[in-house]
Chains A and B, each alone.
Chain A
Amino acid sequence: MAKTMNNYLYQQFAGNVELMPIRSIVLQQFDPDDKDISVYNVNLAINNLEAESNFKITPITKNTFWGQVKTLCYRVDATVYIPYNEYQTNNLRTIFENVLIYDYLMFFYLGKAEPTISGYNPPDPINSTAGMIINFYRNGYNPSHTIEIESVEYRPRMILKISQLLPDIRNITILNS
């Protein structure tokens, strides 16, 4: 019996490239002893990120004996610029160091995607024509993070850098908003 062939055709990009800046980063901490990752005990959403914020997913590769390039794993690096700077009252450093322990899931909300936290409605997105949620998770291995505070122009701001190695591109989930 002949094999069925699937054809995929991508075209008509013009006019269909969506604008989706990083809008929010959401960190969900859950109990490492509880294998059900849908049950989390902290839900930290940081909205209104600065426009410089960025993330990238890059492969770590190795050349083979035959001249090919194999992907060994993926590195996710995110640099999130957080404009809130009343550190004496909102105490972000303490929040991060309490949340970013145990196991946690990391989500990037892009464009029109809206993190749902009861009691808070984030401002309407601007410069966005579509939405997308990107989630990273690797069982048993947390992302690592560093916190920096730098002074730019007339204010201090916080930089949260998150990185994680993922063995497989399937550890990255992309959801519709």
Chain B
Amino acid sequence: MDRIALYYADSPLSSLEFDDEAEQQELFETVKITDPIITTTRVQGTLLNGRVYDHKLYSREFVEVTISADEIDGSILSFLQSFWAAEVRYIAYKSTIWGDYIQVYTDSGDFPINYIEDLLILREVTFKLYYVDVVLEEGGS
């Protein structure tokens, strides 16, 4: 993977096919993109007889993306803040060709910006982007 695209919109896309001329989209090399990492949500508890129950509800994947100062100028910072605040957000990856858009969401809260060495010029933004779709079990639906 050598690039990502971040795209945001007001409503979900009707087609997930990548569009390199889409508005409200920027491409980044980044300094960090993790592999998709699985995270699970479980319901757990202890019965009266002491037995523990543990039901996995679903699994999903997330990636951590870091975009650093070499790619953030004033307009890109504005784009990234709009992406953070947008209604619907997508990521796409490029290895040799662009893959389809994947809808993602983030945690709530402050825009995740960090200033390296406390220098305004060295802005760095790290997103933890969760895939909206769950990971399906093999044979599941």
Residues of A bordering B, CB below 8 Å: 60, 62-65, 70-73, 141, 165, 167
| Across-interface contacts of A72 in B (CB, < 8 A) | 68-70, 116, 122
Selected from A60, A65, A73, A167, the residue in CB contact (under 8 A) with B34 is: A65
Minimum CB–CB distance from B2 to chain A (whole Å) comes to 9
Complex partner residue of A73 from B31, B66, B69, CB under 8 angstroms: B69
Q: Is B119 an interface residue (CB 8 A)?
A: yes
Q: Contact between A65 and B32 (Cβ–Cβ < 8 Å)? A: yes
Contact present for B31 and A65 (CB under 8 Å): yes
Question: What sequence of 0s and 1s flags, for each residue 1-41 of chain B, a beta carbon within 8 Å of any chain A beta carbon?
Answer: 00000000000000000000000000000111110000000
Indicate if B121 sits at the interface (CB-CB under 8 A). yes
Distance in angstroms between the alpha carbons of A63 and B72 in the assembled complex: 17
Closest to B65 in A: A65
Nearest chain A CB to B76 CB, angstrom units: 12
A70 to B66, CA, bound (A): 13
Once the chains bind, are A167 and B73 in contact (CB under 8 Å)? yes
Report A70 CB to chain B, min CB distance, Å: 5
CA distance A99 to B132 in the complex (A): 57
Smallest Cβ-Cβ distance to A141: which chain B residue: B121
Nearest Cβ on chain A to B117's Cβ, whole angstroms: 8
Q: Please, which residues of chain B bring their CB within 8 A of the CB of A70?
A: 31, 68, 70
Q: A64 vs B69: C-alpha distance in the bound complex, in angstroms? A: 12
Interface residues as binary, B41-76 with A (CB distance below 8 Å gives 1, 0 otherwise): 000000000000000000000000010111001000
Most buried by A among B31, B34, B73, B116: B31
- Pairwise interchain contact A64-B116, C-beta atoms closer than 8 A: no
Q: Does A73 contact B68, Cβ atoms closer than 8 Å?
A: no
Shortest Cβ distance from B32 into chain A, in angstroms? 4
In the bound complex, do residue A73 and residue B32 qualify as a contact, i.e. CB atoms below 8 Å apart?
A: no
Top 8 A-B pairs, shortest CB-CB distance: A65-B32, A72-B69, A64-B31, A72-B70, A165-B121, A70-B70, A73-B121, A62-B68
A173–B61 alpha-carbon span in the complex (Å): 47
State A71–B68 Cα separation when bound (angstroms).
10
The CB with the most chain A CB atoms within 10 A, among B32, B70, B116, is that of B70
Q: Contact mask B91-122 → A, CB, 8 Å, 1/0?
A: 00000000000000000000000001101011
Check B33 against A73 for contact (C-beta < 8 Å). Answer: no
A64, B86: Cα distance in complex, Å:
28
Contacts of B122 in A (CB 8 A): 60, 72-73
Whole-angstrom distance between the alpha carbons of A165 and B121 in the complex? 8
Q: In the complex the two chains form, is B33's CB within 8 Å of A71's CB?
A: no
